[in-house]
Amino acid sequence: MDALAPTLSLLDYAAVAVFGATGALAAARRKHDIVTFGFFAAVTGVGGGTLRDLLIGAPVFWVGRPAYLVVAAGAALAIWLFGWGRRGERILTWLDALGMAAYAVVGALKALSLGAPPLSAVVMGVLTSTFGGIIRDVLAEEPSVLLRRELYVTAALAGAAAFVALRLTGLAIWPASLAGFLIAFATRAGAIVFEWSLPGFPGRAPPTA
């Protein structure tokens, strides 16, 4: 794990910046002030990793390294100063997909390295890559990522599960990580481009009063 620390740290910073930018965009849609921009960016950027660390009993990753908060604030400032428009939002959709795929693997890897059982490690990968976005949507009063028919949480689950399964077979960390990342990203890309989704519940809706 120590040999991987610099790379994992770089992935953490990149994901915080990407997710922080999506949080700032949510604030921009509501025309909030610069302080709210920063708050949305920070909560979205570090939310998933915070929950993961609390659940597995690890030191919360950004508390001892406030540079993560600076990165999130920088992403918020960039959105405030330059804006993005539709094209920028499209770019961020793909960056978010990359960040989600990376965080699904990083979250599962960190959990495994601290002795979490395989199933728990998969859940930690999913939470790490999605929870920040869930908080963002709730704060911005937007439809939650959990309620969207297009694949998002499913993509994170596929990537984290593939990574953990490959590690259990004895595959080295880097090949397993790459495979998990590619599976998560490809699944999310299919949802973006081809609007992939899982079948909805076939039963009738309950009668209304």
Q: For the chain, give the percent of residues with pLDDT over 90.
A: 54
Predicted pLDDT of residue 155: 96
pTM of the model: 0.86
Closest by CA to 28, choosing from 95, 97, 78, is 78
pLDDT, one tens digit per residue, over 84-106 is 777 777 877 888 898 899 889 98
Q: Count CA atoms closer than 13 A to 57's CA, side-chain side.
A: 6
Q: Is 74's pLDDT higher than 60?
A: yes
The residue-averaged pLDDT of 160-182 equals 95
Q: Round to whole Å and give the CA distance between 89 and 103.
A: 20
Whether the predicted pLDDT of 40 surpasses 80 = yes
Domain boundaries, the chain: 2-194
User: 111-158 pLDDT, tens per residue?
Assistant: 998 899 999 999 999 999 999 988 988 888 887 777 777 799 999 999
Has residue 184 got a pLDDT over 90?
A: yes
